[in-house]
């Protein structure tokens, strides 16, 4: 009870976009858990919730009563009473019963009033009014209606053949304003009279409809036609030009199909038309043979309609007169029947529209909608905003403006497997339920926080303070990121300081390093073979020339080029000065790369870890140590100059004290860089497989690539790849696989159906929570709804019972709205890419994507 008070108070006055109901829901789940742990039906849940609240209010009311009978607000708001009057085996009875949600059957009825009429009468009506009768029956009459009248629409029935419940998708209309006068006990006598009159009118209506049907479906055979049309066709036949010959006399059945067919009628016809333009003899010409099953062209000499062979003018005159007169009479009779039927319909519709029967109006306030099937689906609600005079749609955390047209479409039924299962009407005379509250002293309108009692007001204020603090922290984080971005951009204008040529110059900060640690494997193993090959090259060529013939990592290439540029300093001042010049040159080059804005197909972070560290704002000593480790690499020894600079770097490492750099942090940064490379490979392989239409294999790579990339981006803006691009192809991959699985299901083949559902259960369904977890990704949410709608559309279609059973078992998994992410068992394997191969394939796939339009991205 306390948690519900907190929940509703937050809904009234919280500054948050939406309120998290988890605590209250968990308590409700525990309280309503059944012994067999089965899922509760929504109507059962609502009944239990109302009962629970009623008990809680009753306890509170009894504690606070002061000699008076305690009042329970739940009972006063939601509960009414009806009188059951009937006859059981010839004996009359009357019982008064209390009701909360009034149940109504939907199947077989077209609107809410028909449902109510059927629910108010059980058995034979006549038996209720007769003195001596052995029949049984009863009527329900409302004696007291609650201010909030709730109808529970039973849209589920048990299928005995399949042994499971099924949803009823029939259309059921309900009005925005419902008059309950005809169901009140005080109007019992007049309602009975009106019901008798309606019954008499419906009996008369049935007779008129049967007579009209005889006019509209005339004939004794299997095919029936309107009688007026039959008379018109007879008139057209009689009025056609008489034909004196038989319809088969001009066809010579003795001639072979391929031979010439020249009959006397055909010749006479041709003579009448004039001489032929052909110079060939008449005997060589062929006449056209009409083939009714192989060609649709009608020969020009065939009459358009059959006609009488012999009819005199007198006969035709009499017949035309009779047919005209009969047709006019039939049309008049048909029109009179239709008018009479229309008048009876209007009379029935207006039977309860007099002033006496429009005294108890109830205005529709809320409609609860379910989309799906009997044991699974999605729920939302339409609630009328009485201040704004418009309907609002409450769909999870989304609250949007709506309209009566949209409500009709989604709630009446028969569309997209969505229909209303609960209607809430408010007594229009109980205006205090919807009117704004006023301050008793000032007379001002109360809203939001002012409508709450002191304890809830303080609770909401405290929650709002926490929320404001969360916003402040978020703003600070965004400001920090913006400042970092601003500093990164401003560094583009800063030039690196000139290199010193003196060995006596003070050592730069990036030389103040702790003891040597092993480089990451991708830095050393990848270059060993290339360096070994380079060592055999002629020393006279120099390091720069070697770069042209040997494939090395970008790291090693940069170091060798930096050593080459420090040749003059090395020759003039010795190895240590050459080392200073080379390492400063390499750092300046990497800093420049980190500050550039390259096209998507070029990512310098893949070429060098230092670029990634600079853009990710790693501590300066992490960057410096990484560079120093690379200059101290023992593989850098294929000429004397490189060996001497390597030895200087190694000596610098040996001189550094162990406590000057946090080696745990150093390893953590290099582990993150390895994660960045692995994430890149997941994305790269997933996109390549997607382009090759290998969607099953591509999906896993894109799923893991997206998740790992999201983790990287959570630590910094420049630590991952374009999230929108990965999200787009992940979404497209799921949609294509869903389309494939749906096509396999539609095939009806047992093996194909099983394979399609396996694809959905094992691959697609586990991925859906990943698309729903972020409510800001609207395109992902729409894609999930499209996939669900595709499968829900099969519910209303005819199919074999085995397919229906499989679909029923599968849909609850698909329609599960939880966002609990279920992990996959095995990670997709990653190949061993060299840095050159990784960069080349990444560039190729990004270039191909830039040439291929990505719809919706």
Q: Quick one: how far is CA 643 from the chain centroid?
A: 63
Q: Which of 661, 677, 672 is nearest to 721 (CA)?
A: 677
Residue 439's pLDDT is: 66
Q: Are residues 514 and 471 in the same domain?
A: no
User: pLDDT: is 6 or 712 the higher one?
Assistant: 712
pLDDT tens for 408-428 read: 988 898 776 788 989 999 999
pLDDT higher than threshold 60 for residue 522: no
Structural domain tally of the chain? 6
User: Would the pTM of this model clear 0.85, i.e. be above it?
Assistant: no
571, 467 in Cβ contact below 8 A? no
pLDDT higher than threshold 50 for residue 636: yes
Q: Which of 404-408, 503-507, 830-834 comes out lowest in average pLDDT? A: 503-507
Please provide residue 15's backbone torsions phi and psi, each rounded to the nearest 5 degrees: -85, -5
- As given in the structure block, the two tokens for residue 657 are 């004290």
pLDDT higher than threshold 90 for residue 735: yes
The mean pLDDT of 704-732, rounded to a whole number, is 89
User: Which residues constitute the domain of residue 398?
Assistant: 81-184+361-433
pLDDT higher than threshold 90 for residue 284: no
- Residue 123 region by backbone torsions, left for phi larger than 0, else alpha for psi between -120 and 50, else beta: left
Q: Are residues 649 and 557 in the same domain?
A: yes
Residue 288's pLDDT band (boundaries 50, 70, 90)? very low
Q: Specify which residues 137 forms β-bridges with.
A: 87, 123
CA distance 424 to 435: 17
User: Of 359, 390, 422, which one is at a domain's C-terminal end?
Assistant: 359
Q: Are residues 152 and 207 in the same domain?
A: no
- As given in the structure block, the two tokens for residue 249 are 């006399």
Asked whether residue 268 is domain-assigned, the answer is no
CA dihedral 323, 328, 330, 336 (to 10 degrees): -170
Residue 200's pLDDT band (boundaries 50, 70, 90)? very high
Give, for 373, the enclosing helix (H) or strand (E). Answer: strand 361-373
Three-class SS of residue 367? strand
Q: Specify which residues 258 forms β-bridges with.
A: none
Residue 113's pLDDT is: 92
Residue 474's pLDDT is: 85
The mean pLDDT of 479-491, rounded to a whole number, is 74
- Residue 396 region by backbone torsions, left for phi larger than 0, else alpha for psi between -120 and 50, else beta: left
CA distance 590 to 560: 14
Q: Are residues 206 and 148 in the same domain?
A: no
pLDDT higher than threshold 70 for residue 129: no
Asked whether residue 531 is domain-assigned, the answer is yes
Burial 109-121 (b: 16+ CB within 10 A, else e): beebbbbbeebbb
What percentage of residues in the chain have a pLDDT greater than 70? 75
CA distance 157 to 263: 71
Three-class SS of residue 225? strand
The mean pLDDT of 279-304, rounded to a whole number, is 45
Q: Are residues 403 and 416 in the same domain?
A: yes
CA distance 755 to 761: 10
CA distance 230 to 216: 10
Q: Are residues 708 and 749 in the same domain?
A: yes
Residue 248's pLDDT is: 63
pLDDT tens for 10-38 read: 888 888 878 888 888 777 776 666 554 45
Helix runs in 177-257, H state only = 188-216, 227-239
Packed helices 620-631 and 640-655: angle between N→C axes, nearest 10 degrees:
140
Q: Are residues 647 and 519 in the same domain?
A: yes
Asked whether residue 407 is domain-assigned, the answer is yes
The mean pLDDT of 470-486, rounded to a whole number, is 83
pLDDT higher than threshold 50 for residue 729: yes
With helix as H, strand as E and coil as C, how does 124-155 read?
A: CCHHHHCCCCCCCEEEEEEEECCCEEEEEEEC
Q: Are residues 812 and 700 in the same domain?
A: yes
Q: Are residues 680 and 696 in the same domain?
A: yes
Asked whether residue 666 is domain-assigned, the answer is no
Asked whether residue 267 is domain-assigned, the answer is no
Asked whether residue 620 is domain-assigned, the answer is yes
Q: What DSSP assignment string belongs to 61-100?
A: HHHH-SSSPPP-HHHHHH-EEEEEEEEETTEEEEEEEEES
- As given in the structure block, the two tokens for residue 493 are 């204008």
- As given in the structure block, the two tokens for residue 709 are 């990339």
Asked whether residue 197 is domain-assigned, the answer is yes
Q: Are residues 478 and 333 in the same domain?
A: no
Q: Which of 185, 188, 195, 189 is nearest to 96 (CA)?
A: 185
pLDDT higher than threshold 60 for residue 220: yes
Q: What DSSP assignment string belongs to 440-506?
A: TTT-PEE-GGGGS-HHHHHHHHHHHHHHHHHHHHHHHHHHHHHHHHHHHHHGGGPPPPPPP--TTSP
- As given in the structure block, the two tokens for residue 323 are 């047919």
Residue 490's pLDDT is: 64
User: Of 41, 59, 78, which one is at a domain's C-terminal end?
Assistant: 78
Asked whether residue 295 is domain-assigned, the answer is no
Residue 776's pLDDT is: 53
Farthest CA pair distance, the chain:
137
Q: Specify which residues 379 forms β-bridges with.
A: 370
Residue 519's pLDDT band (boundaries 50, 70, 90)? very low
Q: Specify which residues 93 forms β-bridges with.
A: 86
Residue 362's pLDDT band (boundaries 50, 70, 90)? very high
* Mean pLDDT estimate for the chain: 78
Q: Quick one: how far is CA 477 from the chain centroid?
A: 33
pLDDT tens for 48-80 read: 777 778 887 777 766 666 656 667 888 888 999
Residue found by looking up tokens 């369904």 in the block:
765
Q: 10 Å Cβ neighbour count for 239?
A: 15
Residue 736's pLDDT is: 93
Q: Are residues 556 and 463 in the same domain?
A: no
Residue 289's pLDDT is: 41
CA distance 770 to 339: 60
pLDDT tens for 586-631 read: 899 999 998 888 888 889 999 899 999 999 888 888 888 888 888 8
Q: Are residues 352 and 372 in the same domain?
A: no
Q: Which of 438-452, 500-514, 684-698 comes out lowest in average pLDDT? A: 500-514
Residue 175's pLDDT band (boundaries 50, 70, 90)? very high
């Amino acid at each position: 009870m306390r948690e519900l008070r907190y929940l509703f108070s937050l809904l009234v006055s919280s500054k948050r976009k939406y309120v998290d109901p988890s605590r209250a829901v968990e308590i409700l789940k525990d309280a309503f858990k059944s012994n067999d742990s089965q899922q509760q039906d929504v109507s059962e849940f609502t009944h239990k919730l109302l009962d629970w609240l009623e008990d809680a209010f009753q306890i509170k009311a009894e504690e606070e009563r002061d000699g008076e009978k305690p009042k329970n607000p739940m009972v006063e708001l939601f509960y009414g009473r009806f009188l059951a009057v009937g006859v059981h085996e010839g004996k009359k009875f009357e019982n008064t019963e209390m009701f909360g949600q009034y149940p109504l059957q939907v199947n077989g009825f077209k609107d809410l009033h028909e449902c109510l009429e059927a629910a108010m009468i059980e058995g034979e009506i006549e038996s209720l009014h007769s003195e001596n009768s052995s029949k049984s029956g009863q009527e329900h009459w409302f004696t007291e209606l609650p201010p909030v009248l709730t109808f529970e629409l039973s849209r589920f029935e048990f299928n005995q053949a399949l042994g499971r419940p099924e949803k009823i998708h029939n259309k059921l209309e309900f009005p925005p304003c419902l008059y309950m006068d005809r169901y009140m006990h005080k109007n019992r006598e007049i309602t009975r009279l009106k019901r008798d009159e309606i019954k008499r009118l419906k009996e008369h209506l049935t007779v008129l409809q049967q007579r009209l049907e005889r006019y509209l479906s005339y004939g004794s055979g299997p095919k029936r036609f309107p009688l007026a049309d039959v008379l018109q066709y007879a008139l057209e036949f009689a009025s056609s030009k008489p034909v004196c010959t038989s319809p088969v006399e001009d066809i010579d059945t003795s001639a072979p199909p391929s031979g010439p067919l020249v009959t006397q009628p055909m010749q006479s016809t041709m003579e009448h038309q004039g001489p032929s333009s052909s110079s060939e003899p008449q005997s060589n010409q062929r006449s056209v043979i009409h083939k009714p099953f192989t060609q649709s062209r009608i020969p020009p000499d065939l009459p358009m309609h059959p006609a009488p062979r012999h009819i005199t003018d007198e006969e035709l005159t009499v017949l035309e007169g009779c047919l005209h007169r009969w047709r006019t009479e039939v049309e008049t009779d048909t029109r009179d029947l239709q008018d009479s039927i229309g008048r009876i319909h209007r009379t029935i519709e207006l039977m309860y529209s007099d002033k006496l029967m429009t005294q108890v109006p109830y205005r529709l306030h809320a409609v609860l909608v379910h989309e799906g099937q009997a044991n699974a689906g999605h729920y939302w609600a339409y609630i009328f905003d009485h201040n704004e005079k418009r309907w609002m749609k409450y769909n999870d955390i989304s609250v949007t403006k709506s309209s009566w047209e949209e409500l009709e479409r989604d709630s009446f039924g028969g569309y997209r497997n969505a229909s209303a299962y609960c209607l809430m009407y408010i007594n229009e005379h109980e205006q205090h339920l919807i009117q704004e509250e006023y301050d008793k002293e000032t007379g001002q309108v109360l809203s939001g926080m002012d409508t709450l009692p002191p304890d809830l007001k303080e609770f909401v204020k405290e929650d709002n303070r926490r929320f404001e603090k969360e916003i402040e922290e978020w703003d600070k984080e965004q400001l920090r990121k913006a400042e970092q971005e601003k500093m990164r951009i401003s560094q583009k204008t800063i030039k690196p300081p000139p290199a010193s040529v003196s060995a006596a110059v003070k050592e730069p900060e990036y030389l103040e390093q702790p003891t040597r640690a092993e480089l990451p494997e991708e830095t050393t193993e990848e270059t060993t073979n290339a360096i070994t090959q380079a060592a055999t090259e002629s020393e006279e060529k120099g390091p720069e020339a070697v770069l042209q013939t040997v494939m090395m990592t970008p790291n090693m290439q940069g170091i060798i080029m930096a050593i080459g540029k420090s040749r003059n300093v090395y020759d003039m001042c010795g190895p240590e000065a050459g080392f200073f010049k080379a390492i400063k040159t390499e750092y300046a080059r990497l800093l420049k790369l980190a500050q550039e804005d390259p096209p998507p197909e070029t990512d310098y972070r893949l070429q060098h870890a230092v670029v990634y560290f600079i853009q990710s704002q790693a501590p300066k000593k992490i960057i410096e140590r990484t560079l120093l480790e690379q200059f101290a690499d023992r593989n850098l020894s294929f000429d004397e100059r490189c060996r001497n600079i390597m030895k200087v770097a190694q000596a610098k490492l040996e001189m550094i004290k162990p406590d000057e750099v946090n080696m745990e942090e150093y390893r953590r940064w290099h582990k993150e860089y390895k994660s960045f490379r692995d994430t890149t490979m997941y994305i790269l392989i997933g996109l390549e497989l997607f382009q090759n239409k290998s969607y099953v294999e591509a999906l896993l790579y894109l799923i893991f690539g997206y998740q790992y990339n999201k983790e990287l981006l959570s630590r910094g803006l420049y630590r991952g790849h374009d999230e929108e691009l990965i999200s787009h192809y992940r979404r497209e991959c799921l949609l294509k696989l869903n389309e494939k699985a749906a096509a396999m299901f539609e095939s009806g083949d047992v093996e194909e159906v099983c394979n399609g559902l396996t694809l959905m259960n094992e691959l697609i369904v586990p991925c859906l929570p990943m698309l729903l977890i972020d409510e800001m990704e609207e395109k992902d949410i729409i894609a999930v709804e499209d996939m669900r709608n595709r499968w829900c559309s099969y519910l209303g279609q005819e199919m074999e019972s085995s397919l229906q059973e499989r679909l029923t078992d599968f849909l609850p998994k698909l329609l599960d709205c939880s966002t609990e992410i279920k992990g996959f068992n095995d990670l997709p394997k990653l190949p061993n890419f060299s840095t050159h191969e990784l960069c080349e394939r990444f560039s190729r796939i990004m270039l191909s994507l830039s040439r291929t339009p990505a719809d919706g991205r």
